[in-house]
Chains A and B, each alone.
Chain A
Amino acid sequence: HELWEAVLPLIVLLCGGGQLKDDFQEELVIRPLHSGDIYASFHFRTLWETDFMKGNKVSHYRLFPKSLGQVISKFSVRELHISFTQGYWRTMQWGQPYLPSPPGAELWVWFQDTVTDVDATWKELTNVLSGIFCASLNFIDSTNTVQPSASFKPLGIANVTDHRFLRYATLPREIVCTENLTPWKKLLPCGSKAGLAVLLKSEKLFHSSFHSQAVHIRPMCQDSQCKTPSWELRQTLNVVFDLHTSGQGKQEWSLFKMFSRTLTEACPLASSSKIYIDITDNPQVGEQFELIPATPLLRQAVVLGDRRTFSVYDLTQQVTFGTVRSLNLLIRWKSTEGHMLRPLLHAERYVAGYGLQTGEIHTLMYNNHPFRSFSVLLLDSVPWYLRLYIHTLTVTSKGKDNKPSYIHYQPSKDRIRPHLLEMLVQLPPHSVTEVTVQFERALLKWTEYTPDPNHGFYVGSSVISALVPSTVAMDTNNTQERTLFSSL
């Protein structure tokens, strides 16, 4: 009987807990940059074993936000990636970000193949997302939406990759502010009351050189059999604090200095809550900078093709908070030497020409690998009022003509759709490849100018998709134990 009484609660627990198998993890990665700035990247992941498709109404939500769950089931979304960015990522000074994002708002969605009218669904989806995130995503219409033919392959599991179900749009003019941060924070299970989200205070976050918040939803496999899909919601927030504006010129960063808050507890709903500090440039403890309070936990991970070492602070352990019951990480620099590993691939884009009639768009792609060449897929979406002349397209590497092996060009239709240019370009090792195309401006009707037209017109960022060869082989084993920031 005693055995039965002991087993019964266990059985109840198993039955009760087996209904909703969802899991929440949160991470903060802090990477000191060589220019003295500091890069903080928050990753929040909710993983839920459920099936939004197949008609079963999911109504009991726990950790997964209901608004996003309803969006997925109503619009038959397979993958959704939305990001809001303010500022420009300086690759040459800061290295590669964990997740690149263009300035402004960017949204790309893969729909399920059950959707009959993708354009109408897309329009409804953008309006609903506009309400959820308090952003003017309702300005996304056919004049800035494109259907890429080769870029933006699905990041989750996928059966079919018919590009008819893919839509991509950017709003380069969109600004990010507190109004967008608040609904974003509300999607987290603990909100901004506990855990790492406590640090997300807008008065400090927007006083930075770069701020990007994103939401990524994708279906995942739990194991190698992949019997039931599980849905992953990832929320990331990347911020770069400037040495002089936020750091007051002193190379000494702390959680309080960056976020004007300290940490007191982990989110109770989180299964794991950790802080990682990138100490790869500090191999001997205390040589370049020192961490206060020190931690014995170390972690190695392969991030962006590079093997990095991290100091780990586990917030689920009470010992991390010490006797004062609050954690204020302090990173103090001893010396300011060190060189940065040059990123293997980076790009620049600018507009040349003068006058209001014509111009030229230049895209430069740098391949800094000493001996390997690799291909990149360049996607350009240009608004219809800048009429591209594709016969003026030139691709040159090291002064010689470099013909792309695949070109997909969809010309624009006035006031209906933008230009879409996708090219597969082979970048020779240690070289600069320049892609130029001439355009001519159209005279707009007086109703088509944006407010404050003297500010100019924004052209969306081009997207480079590439498989960059790395010096470390990727680990393709079971991804359960991987850190969040290295597995997207």
Chain B
Amino acid sequence: MAAPLTLLLIVAVTIRAVLYRSSLAELIAERVEVVSPITAWKRVIEGLALLDLGVSPYSGDVFHETPLIIYLFHFLVDYAEITFMLADVITAVALYFAVRDYNKKVFRKQKFALEADRYPHDCLELIRRPKEMFYIPLKVAMFYLLNPFTILSCVAKSTCGLNNAVISLFILTTIKGNVLLSAVFLCLATYQSIYPLTLCAPAMLYLMQHQFIPVNFRRVSFWWFVTQYLFMFLGSLLVLTCLSFFLLGSWDYMSSVYGFILSVPDLTPNIGLFWYFFAEMFEHFRLFFLCVFQINVFFYTIPLSIKLKEHPVFLMFMQLAVISIFKSYPTVGDTALYLAFLPVWGHLHRFLRNIFLVSCVLLACSALFPVLWHLWIYAGSANSNFYYAITLLFNVAQILLVSDYFYAFLRREHHLTSGLYLKKKDGSEATLVLK
């Protein structure tokens, strides 16, 4: 599998290199769907220029990256394009190996279940075959690298690419079973944008499954593992924050980075839900709605973890999707990360109900974003309502996609335990509904 992967990497790098050299690069770097106030390359350059002028980059309201990013790009600013292409390559390769290991595990588990004859006889067509599972890692890497969202994000030099690389390394180390590295990479991802914190739960669930620790609140081993993981996570977070303090000599970055992500003062339009809402609401209610919106991102962890505690990797996918839909400044780069996982659940296609609608809406919205932006900003014949309508539609389509996959996954699990053709008590055909 090395040869097709290498070929894919070469093709992806070529496409990005060609786009970097064209005049489209500047155009893409200004698009608000691709860059946000926390990930824009223009702001990274601005932060470096402020540092050169002797002014702290965090004294103004333009720069919202972490000090480690300043430190990294202080040395790599001339090689920025290579850095971002490398980040994309690392993400794709990490996802490739992660999915390959995950598939091996899934297949092994399925084999044991077949031998133990735990599946009902009429659902043998739902069993996965090695032949179909062989190409899934390559498909995942392809879905990530050749996704137009990822290409746009890379050409715009959005630091979201770096965040994606760290998250994918976290996924790889979690699936490999390495507790320490998993905590370290998760900490790096959380340090850059707070939301990957919610990935703690699936990581812990997976590692406990890997180490055969039962997930039971009454068992000491469960709490002991949780304590270990959290200790490693919080320890590395402490190390990183102190390192950032020593890099620039002050704690300004905390309010500029984390205060900014949580309190959303900058209302630059993006593909998320926050900007228009906060531009139009009464000041009196601002804090209330801010809390509601932020809690919304973190809240889904608990019910989803309870429901999906046997399937932590699917939980990880759901969490990634929830983060990239509901975070305060999302970009298409965040969407691209969870869309890369779709081939892993390609076998659910017979249970998906809305896939045609969702794909049409996503394509239409992606096409309408630049049109309505132009009408609002340049032609002056539309206003922010038009653009927000498309934003809402885009997010609704994403939510529908994720919930559809959730339904399909749960339905397949149900069929695997209670047979493919369901019958009600009186013998007539039953249908499954997701409540």
Contacts and interface: CB of A to CB of B under 8 A. Distances in A.
Interface string B28-72: 001000000000001001101110010100011110000000000
Contacts of A411: 50, 55, 59-62
Contacts of A391: 45-46, 48-49
A415 B265 contact: yes
Given A391-B49, A413-B61, A445-B267, A355 B55 contact: no
B275 interface: yes
Contacts of B60: 410-413, 419
B406 interface: no
Contacts of B45: 391
Interface in B210-251: none
Interface string A436-452: 00000011111100000
A390 B49 CA distance: 7
A446 B385 CA distance: 13
Contacts of A354: 378
Interface in A150-206: none
A413 B61 CA distance: 5
B268 A442 contact: yes
Given A384-B61, A390-B46, A355 B378 contact: yes
A387 B377 CA distance: 17
B265 A387 contact: no
Nearest to B282: A447
B269 interface: yes
B232 to A, nearest CB: 37
Interface in B73-119: none
Interface residues of B, number: 28
Interface residues of A, number: 25
B279 interface: yes
B384 interface: yes
B20 interface: no
Nearest to B279: A445
A457 interface: no
A306 interface: no
A445 B274 CA distance: 12
B278 interface: yes
A39 interface: no
Interface in A377-423: 384, 387, 389-391, 407, 409-415, 419
Interface in A331-351: none
Contacts of A445: 267, 278-280, 283
Nearest to B32: A357
A444 B62 contact: no
A444 B48 CA distance: 27
A384 B283 CA distance: 19
Interface string A263-289: 000000000000000000000000000
Contact of A443 (B50, B279, B283): B279
A414 B376 contact: no
Given A390-B49, A445-B278, 6 more contacts: A356-B376, A409-B53, A411-B50, A413-B60, A413-B61, A443-B279
Interface of A: 354-358, 384, 387, 389-391, 407, 409-415, 419, 442-447
Interface of B: 30, 42, 45-46, 48-50, 53, 55, 59-62, 265-269, 275, 278-280, 283, 376-378, 380, 384
Q: Which 5 A-B pairs have the closest CB atoms?
A: A411-B60, A391-B49, A443-B267, A355-B378, A414-B61
30 contacts: A354-B378, A355-B378, A356-B376, A356-B377, A356-B378, A358-B30, A387-B61, A389-B46, A389-B62, A390-B49, A390-B50, A391-B45, A391-B46, A409-B53, A411-B59, A411-B61, A411-B62, A412-B60, A413-B61, A414-B61, A414-B266, A442-B268, A443-B269, A443-B279, A444-B279, A445-B278, A445-B279, A445-B283, A446-B279, A447-B283
